Amino acid sequence: MNLIAFPANPGRMVSALLAAFLAVLLAVFAMDSGAAASGNARFDHLQTGFALSGAHREVRCESCHVRGVFKGTPTHCAGCHTRGSPRAATIMPDNHIPTRQSCNACHNTSSFIGARFDHKGVAPGTCATCHNETTAKGKPSTHIPTTAACDSCHKTTAWTPAKFSHAKVAPGSCSSCHNGTSAKGKPSGHIPTTSPCDSCHKTSAWTPATFSHSGVAPGTCSTCHKKTSALSNTSCHISTTSPC
């Protein structure tokens, strides 16, 4: 016959069993608490249609889901990153480059710094709104005098080489650029004249040039016709001091 052996001290055994049971309960509670505290980490936010990336991963839920309201939370940048938004988000500063493009056209979610810029959304002829030496690099002091828009000569891929069109140059104002400093000017051996360049020259080429004697003062022919500037009287010409 087999006899059941009872412990010498039943009270100590009961205490040990109770202690083990309490330890198990505490472990389960700790696991549940940890899961609740890190619920946002275990939750796949992609299921909402908005993937958390970059700095969005470190933002507290209530920063976007104000007062615990999940439905209707914006999924585009301007919904949060705008002045007057109830959500704690960085907004566009007052000195930002004027643009109507969305934030993610230039910025990423990791950092606003180091943004890439695309001129595709810039309206033609509006370069100077940014390229004014304050917001962005502007026209240098040695630039050819012009009121034309930057993009009429320059490309967004590079400032040089630039193409130039004389289409918007006012007639008779050639020397404002063609002065030997800003652009090639009248050479020292040029026929003496006060007429503007475009009265004889074309913008397509300096030569051949046309010349009209209509503006020449009577009796001043020899100022040009003196063997150096233009054809003059030859050695076989009748001797005379009369003007040409």
Dist. CA 210–CA 101, nearest whole Å: 51
Whether the CB-CB separation of 45 and 100 falls below 8 Å is answered with: no
Dist. CA 209–CA 198, nearest whole Å: 9
> Rounded to two decimals, what is the model's pTM?
0.45
CB within 8 Å of 51: residues ≥ 6 apart: 45
Whether the CB-CB separation of 197 and 184 falls below 8 Å is answered with: no
Rg (alpha carbons) of the chain, rounded to whole number: 42
The model's pLDDT over 12-25, given as tens digits with 9 standing for 90+, comes to 666 666 666 666 55
- Segment 75-83 shows an average pLDDT of 82
Whether the CB-CB separation of 97 and 130 falls below 8 Å is answered with: yes
The model's pLDDT over 34-76, given as tens digits with 9 standing for 90+, comes to 443 444 456 788 777 787 888 888 888 888 888 888 888 888 8
Q: How confident is the model at residue 33 (pLDDT cuts 50, 70, 90)?
A: very low
CA dihedral 40, 41, 44, 46 (to 10 degrees): 80
- Segment 22-31 shows an average pLDDT of 54
Q: Which residues of 89-111 are buried (b: 16+ CB within 10 A; e: fewer)?
A: beebeeeeeebeeebeebbeeee
Position 4 pLDDT exceeds 70? no
Find the range with the poorest average confidence among 18-32, 81-95, 137-151: 18-32
